[in-house]
Structure formats: C-alpha cells, structure tokens
Structure 1
Amino acid sequence: MAVRATWKGTIKLAELAFPISLYAAATTSKRISFHILNRKTGNRVQREYIDEDTGESVEKEHQVKGYETSKDQYIILDPEEIADAVPDSDKTLKIEAFIPCSEVETAYFDKPYFIAPSDKNFAGSFAVVREGMRRKKVAALARAVLFRRVRTVMLRAQGLGLIAHTLNFDYEVRPAAEVFDDLPDFEIEGEMLDLAKHIIQTKSGDFDPRDFDDRYDQAVAELVKAKIEGREIKPPKKPKETKVTSLMDALRESAKTSGKTKP
C-alpha cells in the first residue's frame, strides 16, 4: 500500500523551486489502544461535554472555543473567525538559512517527516539541493504554513531524500537553567572517574532502533492473549536488587558486570 502524503507544496531556495511531498515519519497506528466500556454491561461508553452550571449535555453544534480573559470571563471565537485570522498557506517551504547539522538543540525538535519530490521531472533539482547539503554537512532552516500554523522546519539529507523536523518555538521550550542551575557541581577525579569511563567503554555500541522494543505493548498483547486463551496470568519476576553502601561500591559492582551483556 502506497504511503499517503501528509502535505504537498514547493521547496523554494532563492530562484530554484520544485514540488515536494511531506510524509509523516512516525506513526502510533501500531500501538495497542483501548476502548472505554461499562463494566456492568460490557458496552462502549461515549464522551460528552457537560455545562458546568446547568449540568446539561451540550450538543456539538453549540460547542465553541473561548479564550479566558479573566476569572470565568471568556471571549467566544467562532471557527470562521479563527480560520480568517490564520495566515493563508501558499504551499511554499521557503529555505531561509543553512546551519551546521549539530547546531540545533534537540529539545527544539517536534515531529519528524520525510520529504521526497512529488514530480519525477524535478528529481534532479531535488538531488542538487540534497547533495549540496550532504557535502557541506549542513541543515536547512525553512518556514511554511503547515496545518494552519506558521512553522519553522529543519531539513537534513537522508539517503535519497530529506528528513524534516518541525521545530518548537522558543517560548515552548523550557530553559534548561530552570532545572540545572540548582544542581551541585561535583569535581570527579581519580578511581571514580576511571571506573565511570571503563563502564562507558565496555557498554559502547551503535544505535539500532531494532534493538529497542516496546515492552509495554508486548506485555499488554501477551496479557490479552492469555485472557482469550483462559490461561493463568503470572506477573513477571522483579529483578533482584543489589545492595550497595556507597557510590564507589556501586561503580565497582557495575565495572565487574559491564561488558557481560550486549549493549
């Protein structure tokens, strides 16, 4: 089954422009999902909106969005008003700058997408931009109206295509200093640092996403299968805890066991 494009438009770099398609690079469709049921009847239940004051159900046609201006005071915004206020999309992903690939802090990464030319007649133009970025080891910063929002997008060469990340805005990312500034600064030297470096060395490996499994979904799938088959459900054994009396002891114990298992 062919992958469906999420968005179609044009990449524009100076006077060069060509049509592209944007595809969602990540999906949650294979995750286990649940329905909410009435335990007594086994029937599915429906969600409804209730008026806080009257306690009555509010039908969909009477539901509107409101912006709170003060306590319990709202400005009502109709869908047509919101649509008119959003910038019109000209379906153009305009490249504004090139930066080193490592320069963007990963906390700004939002959602990943794959980009490919939507017209094979422009595959050459697409390849020129892709290979230029790959050879210079740079990423492109572009802007576009995506899904009714003006978004900044970072593009990088990947294989025969491009991978794109929409970026969070600065006001959406919490400053790291809010968390890190109160941490004590320790001077780590001697055997403690040597042990830490040894453990890291023995655990060194390569990133392969196939090595990481979704243990939650697997456990739930096994639980469902066991209930269907009427088997007894046995909880997994908890790992044995190792008691240590100090950080140095913990590092020494870790150094003994590191390297015995695949990273």
Structure 2
Amino acid sequence: MATRAIWKGHLSVGELSCAVALYSAATTSERVSFHIVNRKTGNRVRREYVDEQTGKPVDRDDQVKGYETAKNSYVILEPDEIAAAVPEGDKTLSIENFVPCNEIDTAYFDKPYFLTPADEAAEAAFAVIREGMRKKKVAALARAVLFRRVRSVLIRPRGCGLLANTLNFDYEVRSAEDAFANVPKMKIKGEMLDLAKHIIDTKKGDFDPAAFDDRYDAALAELVKAKAEGREIEKPKKQRTGKVIDLMEALRESAAAEAKSRRGKAKKPSSSGSPKREAG
C-alpha cells in the first residue's frame, strides 16, 4: 500500500490477537481547493485570533480552550488538563461482540478505513478472523482509543483485508422518528404501484462508484482553467423543471420513456457482434 498507516496496534478477540495497520479509505485531497487572497494585492491572507472585546491580536501562548457556562463566562481549560483527561490507549482494537451484517444501521457510520496485517507474522491470525467473519456473515464491534478519543469501530471483511468504520455515538445520530414525524402514512396500490415497480425494474443496475459524477468539483476545475487561460466563462444552462399536475400521468410517461430508451439501446449494433474478415 502506497499510503502510510495512520495507526498501528493489535486486533484482538478473546485470546487471539494480531498486529494490524489502519489506513484512510477515503480522501478529499483530489478536490479543488482554494486559498484566501487579498483581492487588491493578490497576496495570501493569514488568519489571526483577536480578543472579542479589545480587538487586539492574541498570542498563541495565550490562546486556551474555554467552555461557556453563562453569557461571556467561561471555564478555562489548560492544554495539560485536557491532555490528562484524554484516556490512554493501549493500541488495541478489542472486539467486544459480533453482529449480523443485516442488523447494521448505516446512519451510525462515520469514516471508513482499511485494516491490514501489520507484518508477515500477523497474516495467519488476521486471515482466521477475517474468514470466520465472512463465513458467519457477521461484522465485529470493537473499541479502541483512536485519534485521542475512545471510539466504537465496526469491522467487516473486504476482499483480502478488513473495512473498518468508526461509528457515531448514539447521542450524535438524530431521531428518524422525529425527522419523519410529519410524513403522512400512505398506502399505494393498484396501477400506481405497478407503474412504480415497472420504472424501478427498467432502471436496475449495478453499484459502480466510478460512475459517480462530482459536477461541482468538475465545474470549479473548468472555471479555474478558463480564468487561467483568459477564456470566456460559459454559464451552465438551467434545466427546466415542470410541475407535476397528475401523478398517475407522470408515472405513465416515465414508464413509456424508459421503455422507449431500452428499445433504442437494444437496436444499436454492438461492435463486437460485427463480422471480422480473417487475414490471408
């Protein structure tokens, strides 16, 4: 793996343990990023902390964390006090239990990581844990001190390695019941349901992350390129959005359009099906 491990420790379940390495599974480094620049001079602007009341800059050594207990009243926490409160890690991802994969609520997922054996000596024990989980179709719930916090981690088999997701705490995940409280309960049946199922069937496909299109980032990249080259910036065309007057009619039109699209694709001759002339 080309990237550097961001954490190394041990994965343990009962008496079985193996050395593991944790790698970030996602990155935003390829996105278009900007600096804040002074429009008049073209120079970069740096951030500076200032006292809210006096307006004067505050030196780094005088910057401390404070918890607001009342309006403009804070409990001051020194860096060494915060450091002492952070639990010490023993560099162990300790598996507490295994849960069926179909019971996992993805709303709790935080960030994804790849987990691999840290060295050759760990490979056999790592494979035993991975294949046991794969065979039983379960995920492991583990706890560890990661990045200065005690975190719960969900671990699942992924190819020849493991995929680990740090999990949001229960208090961090908002209630689905509250979010959906004003959504009316409606029963859909008959032709309307049949049309909906037909549209879904015609739109069936495979999960292909490579097909995801980050239009915002692509548009920013093109904007930067155009300005750097002194080209005129073309404004994107606005898509027309019509109001749905009749839901049933909209479903029928959508189903007909999808059927027509499918027929058009089926009629196109494939290049692999054309006869080839043999040489000689």
Structure-2-length-normalised TM-score: 0.90
CA displacement at 1:242 relative to structure 2? 4.0
The alignment status of 1:47 with 2:73, answered yes or no, reads: no
Structure-1-length-normalised TM-score: 0.96
Stretches of structure 2 lacking an aligned partner (at least 5 in a row) = 266-280
Residue 84 of structure 1 aligns to which amino acid in structure 2?
A
Residue 44 of structure 1 aligns to which amino acid in structure 2?
R
CA displacement at 1:2 relative to structure 2? 2.2
Q: Which residue of 1 aligns with 2:271?
A: none
Whole-Å separation in 2 of the counterparts to 1:135 and 1:200: 32
Q: Which residue of 2 aligns with 1:33?
A: 33
Residue 91 of structure 1 aligns to which amino acid in structure 2?
K
Whole-Å separation in 1 of the counterparts to 2:18 and 2:187: 54
Distance 1:76 1:243, change over 3 A: closer
Q: Which residue of 2 aligns with 1:205?
A: 205
Q: Which residue of 1 aligns with 2:238?
A: 238
Which deviates further from its counterpart, 135-144 or 97-106? 97-106
SS of the counterpart of 2:46? coil
Residue 219 of structure 2 aligns to which amino acid in structure 1?
A
> Given that residues 142 and 152 in structure 2 are in contact (C-alpha distance below 8 angstroms), is that contact kept between their aligned partners in structure 1?
yes
CA displacement at 1:243 relative to structure 2? 4.8
Give per-residue Cα distances to partners, 1:216-250, cap 9 Å, x unaligned. Answer: 11111111111122211111222233454222222
Q: Which residue of 2 aligns with 1:92?
A: 92
Whole-Å separation in 2 of the counterparts to 1:244 and 1:175: 31
Q: Which residue of 2 aligns with 1:215?
A: 215
Q: Which residue of 1 aligns with 2:272?
A: none
SS of the counterpart of 2:102? coil
Q: Which residue of 1 aligns with 2:140?
A: 140
> Given that residues 19 and 122 in structure 2 are in contact (C-alpha distance below 8 angstroms), is that contact kept between their aligned partners in structure 1?
yes
Which deviates further from its counterpart, 117-126 or 229-238? 229-238
CA displacement at 1:258 relative to structure 2? 2.3
Whole-Å separation in 2 of the counterparts to 1:22 and 1:243: 49
Q: Which residue of 2 aligns with 1:167?
A: 167
SS of the counterpart of 1:89? coil
CA displacement at 1:186 relative to structure 2? 1.0
Distance 1:243 1:173, change over 3 A: closer
Q: How many residues align?
A: 262
Stretches of structure 1 lacking an aligned partner (at least 5 in a row) = none
Residue 4 of structure 2 aligns to which amino acid in structure 1?
R
Which deviates further from its counterpart, 175-184 or 133-142? 175-184
Q: Which residue of 1 aligns with 2:9?
A: 9
Q: Where do 1:142-157 residues align within 5 Å?
A: 142-157=142-157
Identity %: 65
Residue 252 of structure 1 aligns to which amino acid in structure 2?
R
